[in-house]
Amino acid sequence: MKNRLIQTMIVAVGLTIASTPVFASQYPGSGDRSATRKLDRSALFDKHMTRLHDALKLTSAQEAAWAQFSNKMKPVKMDKREPQDWKGMSTPDRLDKMLANMKSREQTMGERAADVRSFYAALSQEQQKTFDRRFQAFQSRHHRHGQHAS
């Protein structure tokens, strides 16, 4: 009875390990899909910005502010935690690295907030209302899907 249970568990573990590559290829961001997904995100961002531009009905005097704003809002590649970088680190070193990453992200967010404020100041009150509605809807959809604006 005990041997049968062990054999069943070994088979189950073996099947799980053997099927992992199959399941991994079905998830976005794995294998060849990661490049496609990155392009999709970039295309979605461009589409969002085009819609925002059209909805704001900018004047020719505001176009320079828009160009500067849209260039600064492009997605930024954030540092990823690489497992091989963390293997030999002590817990305090890992915490220090995590804190440094958080500070870097906070700095990026602060810069983006300043860029938004600068562009926002160039808008009329009606355009600001439109921007607020569009930005809130975008953020809501973006976070609902487990993504972060960056």
pLDDT in tens, 62-79: 999 999 999 888 876 666
- What the block records as the tokens of 4 is 């049968």
pTM: 0.60
Q: Is residue 18 scored above 60 in pLDDT?
A: no
Return the number of other C-beta atoms located less than 10 Å from residue 113's C-beta: 10
- What the block records as the tokens of 128 is 């600001």
CA distance 74 to 117: 16
Return the number of other C-beta atoms located less than 10 Å from residue 119's C-beta: 19
CA distance 133 to 150: 19
pLDDT tens profile 98-141: 898 899 889 988 999 999 999 999 999 999 999 998 877 766 65
